[in-house]
Amino acid sequence: MEKEKKMFLGVTGGIAAYKMPDFVRLLTKEGVDVHVVMTKNAEQFVTPAVLRTVSGNRVLTADWSHQDDPFDHLNISKEMDAALIAPATANFIAKMAHGIADDLLSTAVLALACPLYVAPAMNPRMLQNPAVMENLRILESRGIRIIPPESGAMACGEEGEGRLPALEQLRDILLATRARKQDFIGKRVIVTAGPTEEPIDPVRCLTNRSSGKMGTAIARAAATRGAQVTLIHGPVAIPLPAGMETVAVRTAREMLDALESRFEACDMLVMAAAVSDYRVASPIAKKMKKTDAPPTLALVQNPDLLEMFGKKKGRRVLVGFAAETEDMAHNAREKMRRKNLDLICANDVSRSDIGFGGAYNELVIIPRGQEPLHTGRLTKEALADIVLDEALKAGAAAFAASGGMK
């Protein structure tokens, strides 16, 4: 490593806190300098002495009287490369969402100026409580990265979503942040995300199950790496990233209009949106009423956005996505060839554990003229950086082949 990196680890009072010594060991093996802050309840599951031993650093606790410096909460939050709260309890998530600072950890979190990750871990029914879900949305809207919990058997005996992700996965997410360069500075990137809707009548529409999570993750990652980003999105119900131009559209033709007015000035277009292939030829002006005979809808093809911009992409980098249920690699390569893409990302939408609406995905990333990269199942946030890494490589290859920039 060219420089030892510093990580902030906040441990709160969930049972998964007992895993944190092993997690600290994983990070220190990578040469990371880990600084731990604990809540009082976390000490019921793991002792400060254990975390001090494995990290090699003084561990800050809720007992202010044992601190060496009255400004420990400020000093420990300085010059960190990344921060993680794990496990993050419902109580601590609520404190973060509402700016409550009533112990050393919650106070230190307010002073952090580095990428901050939160790994919720709790009973599935607690996780799905509307108050907890709303607090997570608040954090995400502020640019805090939520690492989605895994599904499985819980300590309480219940099954469901709420387990802390594998420690290796948490490590990889933090190391990716540590290694992230400002390699998109000066680049203008357009990302499309989410579904489109094609009206049938004023209350019904043709659409799909895309949540927009993959596209927004790519937009957020590109902005973090220094790009000037425009996110063009269909109807989504997720927090949108801050620090970029966001353009809301509904139909495929509205997305086309938004792209056409911006495409000329971009360096890279990532088409992660699931654009409707068809629209109703003549949408009905009034709400349809129930009748004995079901209505017949005449459909017409929407413009193929990828193909259109593939024809005029010039030296821009064009990245597409392929939602497949069979012969993924073959079908994706054919799509890349037909639409003149530099890179295509295929995923299996027949699987229930990845893809539409979920927090995880698994991609086969195929650069033009090269062997595919199989990512394995990862969070969409982690995949976003991999997609951008490969897009940069594809851009370098396109630049070399064309002999210059656009």
Q: How far apart are CA 1 and CA 179, in angstroms?
A: 10
Contact 110, 101 (CB under 8 A): yes
- Give the closest residue to 384 by CA, choosing from 221, 267, 141: 221
Q: How far apart are CA 117 and CA 88, in angstroms?
A: 10
Q: Which of 156, 205, 266, 345 is catalytic?
A: 156
Q: How far apart are CA 6 and CA 405, in angstroms?
A: 37
Contact 168, 141 (CB under 8 A): no
Catalytic status, residue 205: no
The 10 Å Cβ neighbour count of residue 9 is: 25
Q: How far apart are CA 386 and CA 213, in angstroms?
A: 15
Q: How far apart are CA 406 and CA 100, in angstroms?
A: 50
> 3-state SS of the chain: helix, strand, coil percent to 5?
35, 25, 40
Cα–Cα distances in angstroms (integers) from residue 110 to residues 34, 37, 61, in the given order: 19, 13, 16
Q: How far apart are CA 12 and CA 233, in angstroms?
A: 36
Q: Tokens for 273?
A: 């949106």
Strand order in the sheet with 5-11: 32-38, 5-11, 82-88, 116-120, 145-146
> Which amino acids are annotated catalytic?
156
